[in-house]
Structure formats: structure tokens, C-alpha cells
Chains A and B, each alone.
Chain A
Amino acid sequence: MSISPIIGTTVLRKDGKDKVTGHAKYGADWNISGQLYGAIFHSPVPHAKILKIDTTKAKAYPGVRCVITGADIGNARFGGFIADQPFLAIGKVRYKGEPVAAIAADTERIAKEALKLIEFEYEELPVVDSIEDAISCKGLVNETWKDYTIFGMAHPVEGTNIMDRFELINGDIEEGFKQADVIVENEFRCGMLQHTVMEPHSAIGDVTDDEITIYAPAQSPFSTRSMLHHALGYPLNKIRIICTEIGGGFGSKAEPKLEMLVAVLSKAARRPVKLVYTRDEEFNATFTRASVLYKIKTGATKDGKLCAQKVQVWWDTGAYGGFGPRVNYNAGYASNGPYFIPNAYTDSYCMVTNHSLGSAYRGFGVSEAAQAYEMQMDEVAKALNMDPVEFRLKNVLRDGSVSVTGETMKSVGVAKCLEAASKNLGWSEMPERWVDEDGKLHGKGIACFIKISGTPSTTSCTVRMNEDGTLLINSASREMGQGVRTVLTQFASSVTGISVDRIMVAQTDTSITPYDKTTTSSRSTFHSGNAVLEASHELVRQVTELVAKKWKCNFEDVHLDPETGMFTCKTDDSLSLDINKIGKSGILKEERPIIAVGKYGTKDIFDPVDEKTHASKRPTIMWMMGAQAAEVAIDMKTGKVEVVHISAAHDVGKAINPLGCIQQVEGGLSMGYGHALLEEMIYENGHLKNGNMVDYKVPTFMDSDFKSSIELVEVAHPEGPYGAKGIGEPVVAPTGAAIANAVSAALGRRIHSIPIKPEKIMFGEEGEYASKI
């Protein structure tokens, strides 16, 4: 059967007009009548015992309506995997920025003024300020883990700062190393990053003793609803999350934060409360991409085949669990890269520290993992005296290869991506390193990656036909710039023949929209796409029934051509109807509403993982893969790294909306450039030293002057909608590694950590060359 031409055709963004005109309503743009304004008193210290919180003066300040502390909430705690996080600190504060008290007042200014009147007395405790501090138990962030409810994959170890451990065991690692002709061992680090979404977090809570209503730019409204239900005991049908437009997510709006604060504050104030974070609060009191330490030992035979790999990982996951265990799991599955390695062992820990919370960040740890194993692969190639691309091509997974978890792989596009990325960079015509006429050192680097999408999970949607024949899709796949809203209309159009400009996607509201697990894991095109396809087929069935009724013919004789949108009748050539004109045909009049339900779930496809080894014949519905190659030029007088060219090739399965895919890659390259060269949250004794947009450097227009070559590789996924796979997170996965490998090639020495700031170039990563300057 031919595929509708709307699939694979660029469709301009459905939400574009509202966004260029300023009409789109993000979190802070919403107001509801009677609302108060919230402000949060954040802990000024990273780790302390709370002695006293006196709110008397703040309560007395004119215009203040309510002040609450942890004592007013009781022992309710929340978390996606382990319920360790209090709404407001109880007994202890565990990071600088932790909410301690909350104020609701008539205006935002009054609320903020009143914050200054809160008296907070505390006794400081030793600060767990690094992964090493956490491992050595310099202090215990949690004296015990026993008090917390565990919902899922968190595996804390009593008496330690270990919140989760993940192991992946395949083959016999000791035997594997015995077969090796070369063994390479290295340590790699990634610094802590901030999502730096342009839209600060915000929420409005309207809560009574019976019902909770939250307005927020939430990526995962159903998961937020579930957390509120578990923590506060309201039944699900009494909790409503109304979603606003999202001004950038990247994972930072995947787990709730302000939603929880306004829920308890509004309940106490008995009024709606609006809370909008400042940029300072964004840096200190939302979420981060955890810093991480990798130790990798790899063995290969002299013919260039990988035979064994041991990967040890420690995440600085911050003070509370959050999505840390999910990062550990996803990155753990990806930790050996897209390679065939017969003997592999990964041992990965989430360490709690007195830092801001490490959470989901565009890839759930996968780009950090790629940075480590791809820097390592270059070192193994070097030890074997092989070209990095050739070495990778010799070892990458192919269709039919067995992965490190025992899965027979299919629809594997990584080799094609490696070939395309290196070819488009001009890899084979370039030396490994050279000096240009200005004296700059040039080098080339390559990196590839593998990423899972969270499995099992469920998505559902409805597609409704309005009286005028237009369609409304109800889906909780949240638009946050990645283009899902547009793609869903293409899917519906491809089945119904209704033009995309007559199909809308409604804003998400958990009391109306059918369940969808979450908008993360690059899952929406795949999962919601499949659900919308199913619903659209059902919708066509319902409409066909009405057409047959009108035409007084058999249902089986009426046929819709989705390419043209024309209904025809097998038994009567004179009958035809354009579905785009059905509204005026009278066919819908006084009939039952046309509402079709679609669902996509992966429970039956998923092979439950072995708890100890994490072996599984199908741990994920969808593997995503790709490769990027970079050329850099380094000014050795300043240490500044200039990215000359990045060539990206990503296997998208099928590019449903090609421009949307390209937009993702372009944005990912810029973000990955920032991770590789600019961005790092710098902590000193638990205090963030650069929590503002001047000192924390995200790429600006001035950093966008590099050549990019983008190729969308299409290796169809058998279960994907028209073969499509995810692209949102993968785009950023290999960029840092490709740049770091290019820098290492240019320098002729290995870089082990990102970001690669000029001082690392000039003085060495440990300052070892400082005395030679």
C-alpha cells in the first residue's frame, strides 16, 4: 500500500503563528481570578539541621495571606521512583536552594519582601560536595533510606549515599580480558549542566480540601497527577493538570517541582496561588544534568575486535532521587555503546550529594555515556593503530547482532550513520591533525551512540470530528518545540485524507485528554504516532458508516482514498464525496458524535529485564542511533576551540516531517557545542558559583558560526509509524564526544572531561602544563 504523500513532506509548524505573534500562552502568561502570588524561601546552605523556622514576622507583613513550612504539611514526600523529597524541608536541608517555607501574598512584590522576614536557624553539617565525598561518606545525605516509599527502580543501600545501583552483566568479563591483545583503561568526567530553558518554571495551584487543579508547563502531566495522588491522597479524578504552552523542556519540566509547591500553598491559603521562578531560582532550585564519573576498561584483539568491556559509573544525582534512577537505568543500558561486545559488565551508581537535583536532561544520561565510551573507543583504536571510523565500523551492531543484553538487533542504522557522517565531513581526505596558515591546530573526531526509549509504556488519544468536518486530536504528547503537534496532524491526515490545516491538536488537560505516560524519551512520534494512526482508522470506519447510510449502500462498498480524501462507492460510480467537505454534506447532522480512540502500548513487546543482569531480549521498543563527526581548530595562544564543521547523520527511521527533524538536529548541535565547550555549573562547598546567564555560558548567536551538514538516515522501524523512530534526544548525544575527540586529535593528547574550556587546553586538565607556559 502506498503511503500518503503528507508523510515525509515538510509541514510548517501548527503552533508557529501563535508563537511569532506572541499569542501563545506559556505558564507565566496565565492568571486566574482570585489568585495570590507565591514566593519560596530557599535554604541558604547546602546541608544543615533545621533548628528553627520563625515565620511570625512574615505572617504579620501587610498583604501576606499565608506562610507555611514543612511542619504544616506533615511527612508527605514525593518522587517518581523513590518518595524521598519533602514539599518543604523537614528536619534537614539537603541542598542550597531547597524550599524551606512558602508565602502567599496579594502581590509578588509583597511575597518577596516578606521572605526577608523569615528567620531560619540551622546547624551546618559536612557538605557532600562531590562524587568522591559521596562515596567516602564524608557526610550522609540521608541517615536512613528506610522511611521512604519506593515505587520503582530505585535501589538504595542503607548507611551509604547510594540511592540506586544498576548492573549489566553479559558473558564472562574475566575470560574476555584474557582474550585481549590490548587493554585500555581511562577515566572520563562530564560536568554538571543546567537545562537553561528560556521559560522559567511556573505553576498556578487552585486547591480545596476536595480538589486539586494545577496550571503548568508540564512535560508529564499524568505523572505529576500520580505523584500528587500518592503524596497528598487526593483521588485521581479530583486532580486536574491543565497544561500551558512549554517554553523549552529538555527534561527539566518532566518531573514536577512548582506544581507540588503551589498545591500545598494554595491548599493552606484557600486561594489560588501563582508561582513563577526567577532565573536565580532556576539555577539553584530546579534541576540539572548530573555530573558523572566513568571508569572504563576495554579489551580488543589485534584484528580490531572488541572482546571485553568493564564500565563503572558514578552519578552525582543531587540531594533527592528525582529521575536519577531512570538516568542510571537508561544510561546503564547505553553504557557499552552501539557495539558488539561479547563480554561486558557495567556497574553504575546514583550517589546523592548536597547539590541541586540531577534529573532528566535530553537523553537521560545517554550523551554523558556516549562521551565516555566514544572517547574510550578512540583510545582503543589508537592502541590498535586503526582509524577511528574503520575501528567503529568493524565493531558496531548490525542487523542480527546480539546486543550486550542478549537482544537480536534489527533495524540498526548506526553503520550507515557513521559512513554518512564521516563522508560528509570529508573524513578520509583529512589528516588526523594539521596546522593551518594562522597557526591553529586542526583535528577531526567522530562519535556514535545508542539510546533506548523507556519501555514498557502506554499512550492513548482520541480523534474527534467536529460538525464542520475538521478534526481535533486529544493527546498528552506535549509540544515543547520538538514539533509533535504538527507530526500528529500528519499522521491523522495520512489516514483520513483530511488536510493538515483542518486538523488541530488540543492543549492537554488530564481531566479531558486520554492517558499518556510522559513526553520524554523521544517517544512521542513513535508512541502517539501509532495511537493517532489507530484512532484515525477507527474514525474513518465511523465516517464510512455514515456515508454508507447516506448513500443507502453497503458499508463494504464505500471506500476512502486517503491520498485524495475521496469517498467512492463500488456499486455506484455516480457517488463521490470529498471528506474535506463532509461538514456541509449533511451527513454528520444529528448523528452520534464521531470520536475515535487510539492506543499504543509496549507491554507485550517488552521482555521483562532480569533484575540482576538486566539481560532482556527486548528491553526497549525502540533503539535510536546516529553518528556525528567534527572538525575543530584550536588557537594555542588563547586555548579557544573553534568548531569548524559538524557533520551529523541520524537514523530517524522515516522522517515524517523532514524540516522538524532538521530543526531538532540543528538545535542539538548547538546545545552539544555548549556542553562540549562552554557549560558547567561550578560548585564550591555546596554553593553554586555561576548561577546566572552571564557566568553560565549557553551558546549565543556568536557561537553559531560553524558549518553543519545534516543527513537523515532512514532505516525503517518495523513497529514505528511508517517506520519512524525518535530524534529529539539523540541529536545531542554524540556532539560532545565528537568535539572532544577532534580536540584530542588536534592536540595530540587525550581530553578526558567536558566542558573543554580554554584553561584545559592551555594548562592541561589537571593543570599539569601550567608551569610550562
Chain B
Amino acid sequence: MDRKTINVTINGEQYIRNVEVYMTLAEFLREEIGLTGTKIGCNEGECGGCTVIFNGRPVNSCIVLVNEIDGGDVLTIEGMSQDELHPIQEAFLEVGAVQCGFCTPGMVMSAKAILDQNHHPSEAYIRKNMEGNICRCTGYVRIMKGIILAAERMYGKAE
């Protein structure tokens, strides 16, 4: 089996691992590094549960091969908060954006990617950019509210 040594920064920590080349980033995070916050819902890039931020952009980690991340920088849900919750996490809790919680890590990561790019996103912008993250419990209503509340807290109200 083909193996390769991968050198990657995850949540600010460096990891060097020799792994099978066809391992996906989601598997790498969950099984090699032990970061199980990244969830695999479909393993075919359709549900967004495994969303992480790779080199500043949101990716479905279940369809990214470890080969592609060598030398890169990954942020997962575990890297979102240290002593305090990230404002997105706090807002999700406060408005009730969480039910079963399985989609939540992916939602938080996608929301972060949106707010990194657009400090005052419209509802339509959020809908379009969150479309790839599926939630079966909430009807998305409070996830929307959470993202807007977090944006206001992080960047102030839109002019």
C-alpha cells in the first residue's frame, strides 16, 4: 500500500504522520489525530458535516485526500475555542441553533469561513453559502440567527 509522510499544521500544532495516501482528511483527523469533532455524515461531500477550514477556505474534509494537505494549515472545530467559546459557538448556544448537534461542528466551521470573508453577510448570502451544510433537526432558522448574531458581535451591525 502506498504511504506518504504528511506534515501538516492542525489548530496551530504541527503533526507529522506516515499514512496511506488514499486516506481522506476527515479520516486523518478522526483516526490518526483523534480529533473526532469533525463528523462524517455522508462521506461523499454532500452534507457538510465534515467541514473544516483548510488554508483559509472551507472544505468537505471527506473528499480531500491527505496527499493534498501536506504542508497546509487546517482549522477544525477543536481549534475554535480555547479558554472561551468562539463568538459563533456562543451565539449558536444562545439562540438555540443546536439540537442533535451532529451537523453543528460543520455549521460552525462554514459560518466562520463566511464571516472571515464577509463581515456583514445578508440572509441571502448566508443561505447560499451554507447550502452545503445539511441539518435535519432545526429547519436552519436558528442557525441563521446565530450567524447573524455572531457577525454583529464580532464586526458590529452593518451600516
Contacts and interface: CB of A to CB of B under 8 A. Distances in A.
A22 B105 contact: yes
A666 B36 contact: no
A248 B140 contact: no
Contacts of B80: 21-22
B98 A698 contact: no
Interface string B104-140: 1100100000000000000100111011111111111
Nearest to A700: B131
A199 interface: yes
B101 A24 contact: yes
B40 interface: yes
Contact of B46 (A29, A195, A694): A694
Nearest to B79: A22
A669 to B, nearest CB: 6
A200 B77 contact: no
B100 A247 contact: yes
A109 B24 CA distance: 12
Chain A binding site: helix, strand, loop or mixed by DSSP? Answer: loop
Contacts of B49: 198
A150 B136 CA distance: 34
Contacts of B93: 12-13, 16-17, 20
Given A12-B94, A659-B96, A26 B102 contact: yes
Interface in A1-38: 12-13, 15-26, 28-29
A699 interface: yes
B85 interface: yes
Chain B binding site: helix, strand, loop or mixed by DSSP? Answer: loop
A279 B47 CA distance: 10
Given A13-B93, A666-B142, A667-B138, A198 B36 contact: no
Nearest to B140: A704
B100 A199 contact: yes
Contacts of B44: 279, 692-693
A23 B37 contact: yes
Contacts of A28: 36, 40
Contacts of B96: 12-13, 659-660, 662-663
Contact of A198 (B39, B77, B140): B39
A678 interface: no
B38 interface: yes
B61 interface: no
Nearest to A245: B101
Closest 9 CB pairs of A and B: A22-B37, A247-B102, A19-B101, A670-B139, A481-B100, A481-B99, A22-B77, A704-B140, A693-B46
Interface of B: 20, 30, 35-44, 46-47, 49, 76-78, 80-81, 85, 89, 92-94, 96, 98-105, 108, 123, 126-128, 130-144
25 contacts: A13-B93, A13-B98, A16-B92, A16-B98, A19-B98, A20-B105, A21-B37, A21-B80, A22-B36, A28-B40, A196-B136, A198-B49, A198-B135, A199-B100, A278-B43, A279-B42, A667-B136, A667-B139, A692-B46, A693-B46, A693-B47, A693-B134, A698-B136, A701-B128, A701-B143
